[in-house]
């Protein structure tokens, strides 16, 4: 029986909002910002630090600094005090939180590699959401971004996600074969919610038949 939905999404396509609607409709727990907050708590760092590092690789300057601190005598003395929170640390904690949420069940999990962590679970329905570039820019404008900001985010965030997935999971992003459904959110949030729930029920019925 399906009791977990993972929603991977292109940036700006409305994945977070749609995930919230799906969770509300089912009465399930949403792991989106809650996931970031739990990772920050376990990493003992501000939420903003996790937000800056999750679903992306460490920048070159950060990797060089981390390598220097771990390799130098002074760095080895101060390492326990530095509490360096890099992408690999966040990924390990994310896996723990995602798998814990999955064990509890009745949850909707947004991104963060959850589709890969849970790929072998038969109680998980995996969805990928996307949209045309102009639709994503329009959504971001509605959230208060300038046109320049919106276009930059649409053009760069998914590139970083793809590099992150390639590095840590060794697959192309999106990994089409892993998803049960891929949907274009340009048709409207309510329609997408309806499609997700109907598709999940159909898949669940076939799986348990």
Is the pLDDT confidence value at 120 over 60? yes
pLDDT, greater one: 89 or 200: 200
SS3 at position 194: helix
3-state helix, strand, coil split of the chain in percent (to 5) is 65, 10, 25
If one counts every other C-beta atom within 10 angstroms of the C-beta of residue 4, the result is: 23
What's the CA dihedral at 123, 11, 52, 162 to 10 degrees?
70
Comparing CA positions, the residue from 183, 206, 187, 205 lying closest to residue 196 is 183
Angle between helices 87-104 and 147-169 (to 10 degrees): 80
The H helix count followed by the E strand count for the chain is 10, 5
DSSP 174: S
Reported confidence tier of residue 17, pLDDT bands at 50, 70, 90: very high
The residue written with tokens 């999971």 in the block is 169
pLDDT in the model for residue 74: 42
SS3 at position 145: coil
- What are the CA-CA distances from residue 118 to residues 13, 123, 124, 126 (Å)? 23, 9, 7, 9
Alpha-helical segments (H) within 57-182 = 60-71, 73-82, 87-104, 114-117, 133-142, 147-169
Q: pLDDT tens digits, residue range 36-74?
A: 999 999 988 889 988 988 888 865 444 444 555 455 444
Question: Domains (ranges, CATH) in the chain?
Answer: 4-204 (3.40.50.300)
pLDDT in the model for residue 87: 84
d(CA 100, CA 103): 5
The residue written with tokens 């003992």 in the block is 44
Span 157-167, average pLDDT: 94
Give the whole-number percent of the chain exceeding pLDDT 90. 76
d(CA 46, CA 83): 12
pLDDT in the model for residue 59: 56
């Amino acid at each position: 029986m399906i009791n977990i939905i993972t929603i991977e999404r292109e940036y700006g396509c409305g994945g977070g909002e749609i995930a919230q609607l799906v969770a509300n409709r089912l009465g399930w727990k949403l792991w989106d910002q809650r996931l970031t907050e739990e990772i920050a708590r376990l990493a003992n760092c501000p939420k903003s630090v996790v937000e800056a590092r999750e679903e992306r690789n460490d920048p070159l300057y950060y990797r060089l600094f981390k390598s220097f601190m771990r390799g130098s005598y002074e760095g080895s003395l101060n390492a326990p005090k530095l509490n360096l929170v890099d992408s690999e640390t966040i990924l390990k904690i994310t896996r723990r939180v995602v798998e814990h949420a999955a064990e509890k069940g009745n949850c909707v999990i947004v991104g963060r590699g959850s589709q890969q962590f849970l790929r072998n679970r038969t109680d998980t329905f995996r969805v990928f959401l996307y949209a045309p570039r102009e639709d994503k820019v329009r959504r971001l404008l509605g959230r208060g971004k300038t046109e320049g900001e919106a276009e930059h985010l649409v053009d760069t965030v998914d590139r970083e996600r793809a590099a992150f997935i390639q590095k840590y999971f060794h697959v192309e992003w999106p990994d089409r074969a892993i998803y049960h459904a891929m949907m274009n959110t340009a048709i409207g949030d309510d329609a997408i919610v309806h499609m997700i729930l109907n598709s999940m029920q159909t898949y669940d019925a076939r799986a348990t038949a």
